[in-house]
Amino acid sequence: MLIKIGERMKRIREREQGFTLIELLVVIVILGVIAALVVPKVVGNVDDAKMKADELTAKQLTNAVNQYKAVNGNYPNSLSDLVPKYIDGVPKQQSNGKDFTYNKTDGVVTVTQ
């Protein structure tokens, strides 16, 4: 009985062949096509998110400038005048690493392109 089971197991192992090279190549090509379609969309979403974050940061900085004016009666000479009372530090833009543009005549902070 044990000999018959051993022989059956031997035959089963002999029939197992695994994947062929063609099957593996087909799977790799399919994964490559999926990656080619998905990656650009994800990268584009990250860039859009950084731009929106920069726009919101500019609005927050403009609000801090307006608070400064309400307390001091005039706009600050630069964004660094807001530190540390109104903001923790002068941020850089996430999308390109540049400084925000500050117009001290009207107190508006904008995103630098």
pLDDT at 110: 86
- Continuous segment of H or E residues that includes residue 43: helix 21-72
Q: What is the percent of the chain where pLDDT is above 90?
A: 16
| pLDDT tens, residue by residue, 65-77 | 999 999 988 899 8
Q: Across residues 11-40, what is the average pLDDT?
A: 83
Higher pLDDT among residues 91 and 12, named by residue: 91
pLDDT at 16: 64
99 beta partners? 92
Task: Confirm if 102 and 79 have CB atoms less than 8 A apart.
Answer: yes
Length of the chain: 113
Q: What is the overall mean pLDDT for the chain?
A: 84
| CA–CA separation, 70 and 23 (whole Å) | 70
pLDDT at 14: 65
